Structure 1
Amino acid sequence: MADKNFVEGRNPVIEAIKSGREIEKILIAKGSGKGSINKIKGMAKSKGIVVQYVNKNKIDSMSRTNSHQGVIAIVSSYEYSTIDDIFELADKRGEKPFIIILDQITDPHNLGSIIRTAECAGAHGIVIPKRRSVGLSAIVGKTSAGAVEYLPVARVSNISFAIEELKEKGLWIYGADMIGEQVYYEADLKGPIGLVIGSEGKGISRLVKEKCDFLLKIPMRGKVSSLNASVAASIMIYEVLRQRS
Protein backbone atom coordinates (compact mmCIF):
# COMPACT_ATOMS: atom_id res chain seq x y z
CA MET A 1 0.00 0.00 0.00
CA ALA A 2 1.20 3.48 -0.76
CA ASP A 3 1.88 6.20 1.80
CA LYS A 4 -0.52 9.07 2.16
CA ASN A 5 -0.31 11.30 -0.88
CA PHE A 6 -1.21 14.83 -1.88
CA VAL A 7 -2.67 15.73 -5.25
CA GLU A 8 -1.86 19.38 -5.92
CA GLY A 9 -3.21 21.82 -8.47
CA ARG A 10 -6.60 22.40 -10.00
CA ASN A 11 -6.49 20.08 -13.02
CA PRO A 12 -4.81 17.20 -11.13
CA VAL A 13 -7.45 17.42 -8.41
CA ILE A 14 -10.25 17.46 -10.99
CA GLU A 15 -8.80 14.35 -12.64
CA ALA A 16 -8.39 12.61 -9.27
CA ILE A 17 -12.09 13.17 -8.54
CA LYS A 18 -13.10 12.00 -12.02
CA SER A 19 -11.06 8.81 -11.68
CA GLY A 20 -12.98 7.74 -8.58
CA ARG A 21 -9.83 7.74 -6.49
CA GLU A 22 -10.54 7.63 -2.73
CA ILE A 23 -10.04 11.16 -1.41
CA GLU A 24 -9.97 11.90 2.31
CA LYS A 25 -10.70 15.60 1.87
CA ILE A 26 -9.92 18.59 -0.31
CA LEU A 27 -8.23 21.68 1.09
CA ILE A 28 -9.00 24.97 -0.63
CA ALA A 29 -7.29 28.27 0.19
CA LYS A 30 -9.70 30.89 1.49
CA GLY A 31 -10.50 33.42 -1.19
CA SER A 32 -9.93 30.97 -4.05
CA GLY A 33 -13.49 30.87 -5.26
CA LYS A 34 -13.34 31.43 -8.98
CA GLY A 35 -13.14 29.41 -12.18
CA SER A 36 -12.07 25.80 -11.80
CA ILE A 37 -12.21 26.03 -8.00
CA ASN A 38 -15.98 26.29 -8.27
CA LYS A 39 -15.94 23.23 -10.52
CA ILE A 40 -13.90 21.32 -7.92
CA LYS A 41 -16.34 22.32 -5.18
CA GLY A 42 -19.30 21.13 -7.24
CA MET A 43 -17.65 17.82 -8.13
CA ALA A 44 -16.66 17.24 -4.49
CA LYS A 45 -20.21 17.91 -3.32
CA SER A 46 -21.66 15.45 -5.82
CA LYS A 47 -19.19 12.75 -4.69
CA GLY A 48 -19.65 13.41 -0.98
CA ILE A 49 -16.03 14.51 -0.54
CA VAL A 50 -15.31 16.78 2.41
CA VAL A 51 -14.06 20.26 1.46
CA GLN A 52 -12.17 22.32 4.03
CA TYR A 53 -11.27 25.99 3.64
CA VAL A 54 -7.90 26.94 5.13
CA ASN A 55 -5.48 29.86 5.06
CA LYS A 56 -3.20 29.96 2.04
CA ASN A 57 -0.20 29.76 4.37
CA LYS A 58 -1.25 26.28 5.47
CA ILE A 59 -1.49 25.04 1.89
CA ASP A 60 1.87 26.67 1.10
CA SER A 61 3.47 24.80 4.01
CA MET A 62 1.93 21.47 2.93
CA SER A 63 2.75 21.77 -0.75
CA ARG A 64 5.53 19.62 -2.16
CA THR A 65 5.33 21.03 -5.68
CA ASN A 66 5.00 24.76 -4.96
CA SER A 67 2.32 24.89 -7.67
CA HIS A 68 -0.82 23.99 -5.75
CA GLN A 69 -2.97 26.79 -7.27
CA GLY A 70 -4.86 27.07 -3.99
CA VAL A 71 -6.05 23.46 -3.78
CA ILE A 72 -4.70 20.15 -2.42
CA ALA A 73 -6.53 16.84 -2.29
CA ILE A 74 -5.46 14.44 0.47
CA VAL A 75 -5.64 10.93 -0.93
CA SER A 76 -6.11 7.84 1.21
CA SER A 77 -3.08 5.81 2.21
CA TYR A 78 -5.01 2.54 1.98
CA GLU A 79 -7.80 1.20 -0.17
CA TYR A 80 -11.26 0.97 1.35
CA SER A 81 -13.50 -2.06 1.13
CA THR A 82 -17.29 -2.26 0.87
CA ILE A 83 -19.88 -3.62 3.26
CA ASP A 84 -20.35 -6.51 0.83
CA ASP A 85 -16.62 -7.29 1.13
CA ILE A 86 -17.05 -7.57 4.90
CA PHE A 87 -19.94 -10.01 4.53
CA GLU A 88 -17.95 -12.03 2.01
CA LEU A 89 -15.15 -12.45 4.56
CA ALA A 90 -17.61 -13.70 7.19
CA ASP A 91 -19.13 -16.09 4.66
CA LYS A 92 -15.70 -17.33 3.62
CA ARG A 93 -14.89 -18.16 7.23
CA GLY A 94 -18.30 -19.76 7.77
CA GLU A 95 -19.00 -17.38 10.66
CA LYS A 96 -21.83 -15.06 11.68
CA PRO A 97 -20.89 -11.49 10.73
CA PHE A 98 -19.25 -9.35 13.41
CA ILE A 99 -18.80 -5.74 12.33
CA ILE A 100 -17.54 -2.74 14.31
CA ILE A 101 -19.21 0.58 13.42
CA LEU A 102 -17.31 3.71 14.44
CA ASP A 103 -19.22 6.95 14.91
CA GLN A 104 -16.99 10.03 14.49
CA ILE A 105 -13.67 8.63 15.73
CA THR A 106 -11.24 11.47 14.98
CA ASP A 107 -8.03 10.27 16.65
CA PRO A 108 -5.91 8.18 14.24
CA HIS A 109 -4.28 6.32 17.13
CA ASN A 110 -7.68 5.24 18.43
CA LEU A 111 -8.75 4.08 14.98
CA GLY A 112 -5.50 2.17 14.49
CA SER A 113 -5.82 0.51 17.90
CA ILE A 114 -9.42 -0.51 17.24
CA ILE A 115 -8.47 -2.01 13.86
CA ARG A 116 -5.66 -3.96 15.53
CA THR A 117 -7.92 -5.31 18.29
CA ALA A 118 -10.74 -6.13 15.88
CA GLU A 119 -8.42 -8.09 13.58
CA CYS A 120 -6.84 -9.97 16.49
CA ALA A 121 -10.29 -10.90 17.84
CA GLY A 122 -11.53 -12.21 14.51
CA ALA A 123 -13.97 -9.45 13.56
CA HIS A 124 -14.90 -9.30 9.89
CA GLY A 125 -14.68 -5.57 9.25
CA ILE A 126 -15.07 -1.98 10.33
CA VAL A 127 -17.40 0.73 9.05
CA ILE A 128 -16.45 4.42 9.34
CA PRO A 129 -18.14 7.61 8.06
CA LYS A 130 -16.66 9.93 5.45
CA ARG A 131 -17.38 13.05 7.50
CA ARG A 132 -16.15 14.00 10.96
CA SER A 133 -13.94 10.93 11.14
CA VAL A 134 -10.30 10.11 10.60
CA GLY A 135 -9.58 8.01 7.52
CA LEU A 136 -6.98 5.36 6.78
CA SER A 137 -3.89 7.52 7.15
CA ALA A 138 -0.30 6.38 7.51
CA ILE A 139 -0.56 6.93 11.29
CA VAL A 140 -3.59 4.65 11.44
CA GLY A 141 -1.74 1.98 9.50
CA LYS A 142 1.28 2.16 11.79
CA THR A 143 -0.81 2.10 14.98
CA SER A 144 -2.73 -0.93 13.69
CA ALA A 145 0.60 -2.83 13.51
CA GLY A 146 -0.27 -3.96 9.99
CA ALA A 147 -3.80 -5.16 10.82
CA VAL A 148 -5.24 -2.66 8.33
CA GLU A 149 -3.78 -4.86 5.58
CA TYR A 150 -6.03 -7.77 6.60
CA LEU A 151 -9.24 -6.29 8.00
CA PRO A 152 -11.73 -4.70 5.56
CA VAL A 153 -12.61 -1.08 6.37
CA ALA A 154 -15.67 0.33 4.60
CA ARG A 155 -16.16 4.11 4.39
CA VAL A 156 -19.76 5.23 4.04
CA SER A 157 -21.49 8.55 3.44
CA ASN A 158 -24.01 8.07 6.24
CA ILE A 159 -23.60 5.81 9.27
CA SER A 160 -27.34 5.72 10.01
CA PHE A 161 -28.11 4.52 6.48
CA ALA A 162 -25.31 1.96 6.75
CA ILE A 163 -26.82 0.61 9.98
CA GLU A 164 -30.17 0.24 8.22
CA GLU A 165 -28.43 -1.74 5.48
CA LEU A 166 -26.75 -3.97 8.07
CA LYS A 167 -30.09 -4.58 9.77
CA GLU A 168 -31.63 -5.58 6.46
CA LYS A 169 -28.80 -8.09 6.09
CA GLY A 170 -29.74 -9.66 9.44
CA LEU A 171 -27.49 -7.94 11.97
CA TRP A 172 -28.50 -6.86 15.47
CA ILE A 173 -26.96 -3.50 16.34
CA TYR A 174 -25.47 -2.95 19.80
CA GLY A 175 -24.26 0.49 20.88
CA ALA A 176 -21.71 1.13 23.62
CA ASP A 177 -23.21 3.82 25.84
CA MET A 178 -22.68 4.91 29.46
CA ILE A 179 -26.43 4.96 30.08
CA GLY A 180 -27.10 1.63 28.39
CA GLU A 181 -29.90 -0.46 29.83
CA GLN A 182 -27.77 -3.62 30.01
CA VAL A 183 -24.24 -4.47 31.12
CA TYR A 184 -22.24 -5.64 28.10
CA TYR A 185 -21.40 -9.12 29.42
CA GLU A 186 -25.06 -9.86 30.14
CA ALA A 187 -26.05 -9.44 26.49
CA ASP A 188 -26.17 -12.34 24.03
CA LEU A 189 -23.48 -11.42 21.49
CA LYS A 190 -23.18 -14.77 19.72
CA GLY A 191 -25.36 -13.93 16.72
CA PRO A 192 -24.70 -11.68 13.70
CA ILE A 193 -23.97 -8.28 15.24
CA GLY A 194 -22.80 -4.76 14.61
CA LEU A 195 -21.06 -3.05 17.53
CA VAL A 196 -21.22 0.76 17.56
CA ILE A 197 -18.47 2.72 19.29
CA GLY A 198 -18.86 6.49 19.65
CA SER A 199 -16.43 9.39 19.49
CA GLU A 200 -13.74 10.09 22.05
CA GLY A 201 -15.57 13.01 23.62
CA LYS A 202 -19.28 12.80 22.84
CA GLY A 203 -19.98 9.10 22.47
CA ILE A 204 -22.56 7.87 19.96
CA SER A 205 -24.50 10.63 18.23
CA ARG A 206 -28.24 10.85 18.88
CA LEU A 207 -29.33 9.78 15.39
CA VAL A 208 -27.02 6.77 15.40
CA LYS A 209 -28.06 5.84 18.94
CA GLU A 210 -31.69 5.76 17.81
CA LYS A 211 -30.75 3.17 15.17
CA CYS A 212 -29.28 0.77 17.74
CA ASP A 213 -31.35 -2.23 18.83
CA PHE A 214 -29.65 -2.34 22.23
CA LEU A 215 -27.44 -0.02 24.29
CA LEU A 216 -24.79 -1.70 26.43
CA LYS A 217 -22.78 -0.17 29.24
CA ILE A 218 -19.41 -0.99 30.77
CA PRO A 219 -19.53 -0.88 34.60
CA MET A 220 -17.49 1.99 36.08
CA ARG A 221 -16.25 1.99 39.67
CA GLY A 222 -13.74 4.86 39.71
CA LYS A 223 -14.07 8.64 39.74
CA VAL A 224 -13.42 9.00 35.99
CA SER A 225 -16.69 8.49 34.18
CA SER A 226 -15.58 7.29 30.75
CA LEU A 227 -13.02 5.14 28.94
CA ASN A 228 -10.87 5.88 25.93
CA ALA A 229 -12.75 4.85 22.77
CA SER A 230 -10.22 2.19 21.79
CA VAL A 231 -10.20 0.71 25.31
CA ALA A 232 -14.01 0.54 25.44
CA ALA A 233 -14.01 -1.06 21.99
CA SER A 234 -11.41 -3.63 23.07
CA ILE A 235 -13.42 -4.68 26.13
CA MET A 236 -16.57 -5.25 24.13
CA ILE A 237 -14.87 -6.81 21.09
CA TYR A 238 -13.24 -9.43 23.30
CA GLU A 239 -16.54 -10.16 25.03
CA VAL A 240 -17.92 -11.06 21.61
CA LEU A 241 -14.92 -13.36 21.05
CA ARG A 242 -15.36 -14.92 24.50
CA GLN A 243 -19.03 -15.69 23.90
CA ARG A 244 -18.39 -17.06 20.44
CA SER A 245 -15.61 -19.29 21.74
Structure 2
Amino acid sequence: MTDSPEYLKKRAFFDSLLTIYGRKPVLEALEDSSLPVHKLHLADSNRKDQLISRIEQLASERNIEIAYLDRKGLSRISKNARQDQGVALDLALPRYGTAEAFLQEQHNEHFELLALDGITNPQNLGMIIRSACAGGIDGILLPRKGCAQIDPLVIKASVGTLFKTRILRCEQLAPVLKKFAEQGARVCALSSHAKDTLRSIDTAAPNIFVLGNETHGVSTAVSETCSHRLRIPMQNDVESLNVAITAALISFRHQF
Protein backbone atom coordinates (compact mmCIF):
# COMPACT_ATOMS: atom_id res chain seq x y z
CA MET A 1 0.00 0.00 0.00
CA THR A 2 1.38 3.39 -1.03
CA ASP A 3 1.11 6.33 1.35
CA SER A 4 -1.03 9.19 0.08
CA PRO A 5 0.56 12.54 -0.84
CA GLU A 6 -1.41 14.15 1.97
CA TYR A 7 -0.01 11.71 4.53
CA LEU A 8 3.55 12.13 3.24
CA LYS A 9 3.20 15.91 3.41
CA LYS A 10 1.89 15.74 6.97
CA ARG A 11 4.65 13.35 8.00
CA ALA A 12 7.32 15.60 6.45
CA PHE A 13 5.93 18.54 8.42
CA PHE A 14 6.08 16.72 11.75
CA ASP A 15 9.57 15.43 10.93
CA SER A 16 10.61 19.08 10.57
CA LEU A 17 9.51 19.96 14.11
CA LEU A 18 12.25 20.58 16.64
CA THR A 19 11.02 20.78 20.22
CA ILE A 20 13.09 22.92 22.56
CA TYR A 21 12.44 23.45 26.26
CA GLY A 22 13.43 25.62 29.17
CA ARG A 23 12.18 29.13 29.86
CA LYS A 24 15.16 31.11 28.60
CA PRO A 25 15.72 29.13 25.35
CA VAL A 26 12.00 29.31 24.56
CA LEU A 27 11.86 33.03 25.31
CA GLU A 28 14.88 33.71 23.07
CA ALA A 29 13.33 31.67 20.26
CA LEU A 30 10.04 33.57 20.51
CA GLU A 31 11.92 36.87 20.42
CA ASP A 32 13.47 35.87 17.07
CA SER A 33 10.70 36.56 14.58
CA SER A 34 12.62 34.76 11.81
CA LEU A 35 12.09 31.39 13.52
CA PRO A 36 8.87 29.66 12.40
CA VAL A 37 7.00 28.44 15.48
CA HIS A 38 4.31 25.75 15.38
CA LYS A 39 3.05 25.56 18.97
CA LEU A 40 3.88 26.62 22.53
CA HIS A 41 3.32 24.13 25.36
CA LEU A 42 2.98 25.32 28.97
CA ALA A 43 2.40 23.44 32.20
CA ASP A 44 -0.85 24.61 33.76
CA SER A 45 0.89 24.54 37.16
CA ASN A 46 3.41 27.23 36.17
CA ARG A 47 3.61 30.18 38.50
CA LYS A 48 2.91 33.36 36.53
CA ASP A 49 6.32 34.98 36.96
CA GLN A 50 7.87 37.57 34.65
CA LEU A 51 9.34 35.03 32.22
CA ILE A 52 6.12 33.04 31.81
CA SER A 53 4.12 36.23 31.32
CA ARG A 54 6.55 37.45 28.66
CA ILE A 55 6.48 34.06 26.89
CA GLU A 56 2.68 34.13 26.79
CA GLN A 57 2.69 37.73 25.58
CA LEU A 58 5.08 37.00 22.70
CA ALA A 59 3.10 33.93 21.66
CA SER A 60 -0.10 35.98 21.65
CA GLU A 61 1.50 38.78 19.61
CA ARG A 62 2.72 36.23 17.03
CA ASN A 63 -0.63 34.36 16.96
CA ILE A 64 1.04 31.16 18.13
CA GLU A 65 -1.18 28.43 19.51
CA ILE A 66 -0.68 27.79 23.24
CA ALA A 67 -1.45 24.38 24.72
CA TYR A 68 -1.81 24.15 28.53
CA LEU A 69 -0.96 20.70 29.87
CA ASP A 70 -0.48 18.98 33.19
CA ARG A 71 3.11 18.17 34.14
CA LYS A 72 2.89 14.64 32.82
CA GLY A 73 1.55 15.81 29.48
CA LEU A 74 4.27 18.43 29.15
CA SER A 75 7.00 15.90 29.91
CA ARG A 76 5.77 13.78 27.01
CA ILE A 77 6.35 16.78 24.77
CA SER A 78 9.71 17.92 26.15
CA LYS A 79 11.00 14.41 26.93
CA ASN A 80 12.92 15.97 29.81
CA ALA A 81 10.71 16.56 32.84
CA ARG A 82 13.66 17.47 35.07
CA GLN A 83 14.83 20.40 32.95
CA ASP A 84 11.88 21.66 30.90
CA GLN A 85 10.85 24.21 33.59
CA GLY A 86 7.23 23.81 32.51
CA VAL A 87 7.82 25.17 28.99
CA ALA A 88 8.33 23.60 25.54
CA LEU A 89 8.19 25.05 22.04
CA ASP A 90 7.78 23.35 18.65
CA LEU A 91 9.85 25.01 15.93
CA ALA A 92 8.94 24.19 12.31
CA LEU A 93 12.43 24.33 10.84
CA PRO A 94 12.72 23.66 7.09
CA ARG A 95 16.31 22.39 7.54
CA TYR A 96 15.45 19.91 10.29
CA GLY A 97 14.38 16.43 9.21
CA THR A 98 15.39 12.81 8.72
CA ALA A 99 18.40 11.17 7.14
CA GLU A 100 16.11 9.06 4.96
CA ALA A 101 14.39 12.11 3.47
CA PHE A 102 17.75 13.77 2.77
CA LEU A 103 19.00 10.63 1.04
CA GLN A 104 16.00 10.63 -1.28
CA GLU A 105 16.33 14.34 -2.04
CA GLN A 106 20.07 14.21 -2.71
CA HIS A 107 20.12 11.13 -4.94
CA ASN A 108 23.05 11.47 -7.38
CA GLU A 109 23.94 14.88 -5.91
CA HIS A 110 27.22 15.83 -4.27
CA PHE A 111 27.18 16.60 -0.55
CA GLU A 112 29.33 16.52 2.56
CA LEU A 113 27.98 15.52 5.97
CA LEU A 114 29.25 15.05 9.49
CA ALA A 115 28.01 11.90 11.23
CA LEU A 116 28.14 11.88 15.04
CA ASP A 117 28.77 8.54 16.73
CA GLY A 118 28.45 8.74 20.50
CA ILE A 119 29.18 12.45 20.98
CA THR A 120 27.88 12.81 24.53
CA ASN A 121 29.08 16.26 25.60
CA PRO A 122 26.44 18.96 24.88
CA GLN A 123 29.14 21.63 24.61
CA ASN A 124 30.93 19.61 21.94
CA LEU A 125 27.68 19.04 20.04
CA GLY A 126 26.87 22.74 20.04
CA MET A 127 30.36 23.68 18.86
CA ILE A 128 30.24 21.02 16.11
CA ILE A 129 26.95 22.47 14.89
CA ARG A 130 28.43 25.97 14.89
CA SER A 131 31.51 24.92 12.88
CA ALA A 132 29.44 22.90 10.40
CA CYS A 133 27.14 25.84 9.81
CA ALA A 134 29.95 28.36 9.38
CA GLY A 135 32.00 26.02 7.16
CA GLY A 136 29.17 25.12 4.80
CA ILE A 137 28.72 21.44 5.67
CA ASP A 138 25.47 20.20 4.09
CA GLY A 139 24.14 18.48 7.20
CA ILE A 140 24.81 16.62 10.44
CA LEU A 141 23.64 13.05 10.99
CA LEU A 142 22.51 12.88 14.62
CA PRO A 143 21.17 9.60 16.06
CA ARG A 144 18.35 9.78 18.58
CA LYS A 145 20.19 7.38 20.89
CA GLY A 146 23.78 7.36 22.09
CA CYS A 147 24.51 11.06 21.45
CA ALA A 148 23.82 14.23 23.37
CA GLN A 149 20.40 15.53 22.42
CA ILE A 150 19.42 19.06 21.57
CA ASP A 151 18.88 20.86 24.87
CA PRO A 152 19.48 24.36 26.27
CA LEU A 153 23.22 23.69 26.67
CA VAL A 154 23.55 22.67 23.01
CA ILE A 155 21.54 25.67 21.85
CA LYS A 156 23.75 27.99 23.90
CA ALA A 157 26.99 26.42 22.63
CA SER A 158 25.80 26.63 19.03
CA VAL A 159 25.21 30.39 19.47
CA GLY A 160 22.01 30.26 17.43
CA THR A 161 23.48 28.34 14.49
CA LEU A 162 21.42 25.27 15.41
CA PHE A 163 18.44 26.92 13.73
CA LYS A 164 20.40 27.47 10.50
CA THR A 165 22.00 24.04 10.24
CA ARG A 166 20.52 20.98 8.57
CA ILE A 167 20.13 18.38 11.31
CA LEU A 168 19.33 14.89 9.98
CA ARG A 169 17.85 12.59 12.61
CA CYS A 170 18.05 8.80 12.55
CA GLU A 171 17.39 6.03 15.04
CA GLN A 172 20.79 4.33 14.66
CA LEU A 173 23.79 5.56 12.74
CA ALA A 174 25.26 2.32 11.31
CA PRO A 175 22.24 1.24 9.20
CA VAL A 176 21.84 4.76 7.81
CA LEU A 177 25.52 5.01 6.86
CA LYS A 178 25.19 1.68 5.06
CA LYS A 179 22.31 3.09 2.99
CA PHE A 180 24.35 6.17 2.09
CA ALA A 181 27.28 3.96 1.07
CA GLU A 182 25.02 1.84 -1.13
CA GLN A 183 24.07 5.00 -3.02
CA GLY A 184 27.70 5.98 -3.64
CA ALA A 185 28.70 8.03 -0.61
CA ARG A 186 32.22 7.69 0.74
CA VAL A 187 32.01 7.04 4.51
CA CYS A 188 35.17 8.15 6.33
CA ALA A 189 36.03 7.50 9.97
CA LEU A 190 38.36 9.97 11.66
CA SER A 191 41.10 8.15 13.55
CA SER A 192 44.51 9.23 14.82
CA HIS A 193 45.87 5.81 13.76
CA ALA A 194 44.77 6.03 10.11
CA LYS A 195 47.29 5.88 7.29
CA ASP A 196 45.62 8.41 4.98
CA THR A 197 45.17 12.07 5.86
CA LEU A 198 42.16 14.33 5.52
CA ARG A 199 43.85 16.09 2.60
CA SER A 200 43.89 12.87 0.55
CA ILE A 201 40.09 12.78 0.16
CA ASP A 202 38.80 14.43 -3.00
CA THR A 203 35.30 15.73 -3.69
CA ALA A 204 34.43 13.48 -6.63
CA ALA A 205 31.96 11.51 -4.49
CA PRO A 206 29.70 12.57 -1.66
CA ASN A 207 31.62 12.44 1.62
CA ILE A 208 30.44 11.58 5.12
CA PHE A 209 32.94 12.19 7.93
CA VAL A 210 32.26 10.12 11.04
CA LEU A 211 33.26 11.65 14.38
CA GLY A 212 33.46 9.20 17.28
CA ASN A 213 32.96 9.36 21.01
CA GLU A 214 35.19 11.75 22.95
CA THR A 215 36.89 8.87 24.80
CA HIS A 216 36.39 5.66 22.82
CA GLY A 217 36.29 6.95 19.23
CA VAL A 218 34.16 5.38 16.50
CA SER A 219 32.13 2.38 17.64
CA THR A 220 32.66 -1.07 16.16
CA ALA A 221 29.24 -1.19 14.46
CA VAL A 222 29.77 2.19 12.78
CA SER A 223 33.42 1.48 11.94
CA GLU A 224 32.33 -1.55 9.90
CA THR A 225 30.32 0.73 7.58
CA CYS A 226 33.30 3.02 6.87
CA SER A 227 35.17 2.60 3.60
CA HIS A 228 37.99 5.02 4.53
CA ARG A 229 39.92 5.98 7.64
CA LEU A 230 41.51 9.39 7.89
CA ARG A 231 43.72 11.28 10.29
CA ILE A 232 44.64 14.91 10.76
CA PRO A 233 48.45 15.30 10.71
CA MET A 234 49.77 16.60 14.03
CA GLN A 235 53.17 17.66 15.29
CA ASN A 236 55.03 17.64 18.62
CA ASP A 237 53.74 14.19 19.56
CA VAL A 238 50.16 15.39 20.00
CA GLU A 239 47.97 12.29 19.73
CA SER A 240 44.47 13.68 19.29
CA LEU A 241 42.27 16.76 19.10
CA ASN A 242 38.99 17.66 20.73
CA VAL A 243 36.16 16.35 18.54
CA ALA A 244 34.73 19.84 18.04
CA ILE A 245 38.12 21.09 16.79
CA THR A 246 38.26 18.13 14.39
CA ALA A 247 34.81 19.04 13.09
CA ALA A 248 35.98 22.62 12.50
CA LEU A 249 39.02 21.48 10.51
CA ILE A 250 36.86 19.26 8.32
CA SER A 251 34.26 21.98 7.80
CA PHE A 252 36.77 24.63 6.79
CA ARG A 253 39.28 22.55 4.85
CA HIS A 254 38.19 24.07 1.49
CA GLN A 255 38.03 27.66 2.70
CA PHE A 256 41.72 28.55 2.62
TM-score by length of 1: 0.66
Structure 1 residues 211 and 139 mapped into 2: Cα distance closer, same or farther (>3 Å)? Answer: same
Q: Within 5 Å, give how 1:203-242 maps onto structure 2.
A: 203-239=217-253, 241-242=254-255
SS at match of 1:211: coil
1:98 to 112, 128, 133: 112
Q: Within 5 Å, give how 1:36-185 maps onto structure 2.
A: 80-87=96-103, 96-185=110-199
For structure 2, list consecutive stretches of 5 or more residues without a partner in the other structure: 1-17, 23-41, 44-68
2-structure distance, mates of 1:231, 1:77: 30
2-structure distance, mates of 1:220, 1:165: 33
SS at match of 2:224: helix
Q: Deviations over 1:22-56 (max 9, x none)?
A: 74x6x7xxxxxxxxxxxxxxxxxxxxxxxxxxxxx
SS at match of 2:214: coil
Deviation at 1:75, TM superposition (A): 7.1
Structure 1 residues 76 and 182 mapped into 2: Cα distance closer, same or farther (>3 Å)? Answer: farther
2-structure distance, mates of 1:165, 1:156: 12
The aligned residue for residue 4 of structure 1 is: 21
The aligned residue for residue 31 of structure 1 is: none
Percent identity at matched positions? Answer: 24
SS at match of 2:110: coil
Is the Cα–Cα contact under 8 Å of residues 76 and 135 in structure 1 kept in the other structure? no
Report the residue type matching 2:182 in the other structure.
E
CA RMSD of aligned residues (A): 3.3
1-structure distance, mates of 2:197, 2:138: 24
Structure 1 residues 2 and 204 mapped into 2: Cα distance closer, same or farther (>3 Å)? Answer: closer
1-structure distance, mates of 2:163, 2:105: 14
SS at match of 1:81: strand
2-structure distance, mates of 1:63, 1:175: 35
Deviation at 1:212, TM superposition (A): 0.4
1-structure distance, mates of 2:85, 2:240: 41
Deviation at 1:233, TM superposition (A): 1.4
1-structure distance, mates of 2:174, 2:134: 27
For structure 1, list consecutive stretches of 5 or more residues without a partner in the other structure: 28-58, 66-73
Structure 1 residues 135 and 213 mapped into 2: Cα distance closer, same or farther (>3 Å)? Answer: same
Deviation at 1:63, TM superposition (A): 8.2
SS at match of 1:110: helix
2-structure distance, mates of 1:202, 1:163: 19
Deviation at 1:216, TM superposition (A): 0.2
SS at match of 1:212: coil
Deviation at 1:89, TM superposition (A): 7.4
Is the Cα–Cα contact under 8 Å of residues 111 and 138 in structure 2 kept in the other structure? yes
> Is residue 202 of structure 1 aligned with residue 202 of structure 2?
no
The aligned residue for residue 51 of structure 1 is: none
Deviation at 1:173, TM superposition (A): 0.5
2-structure distance, mates of 1:76, 1:201: 33
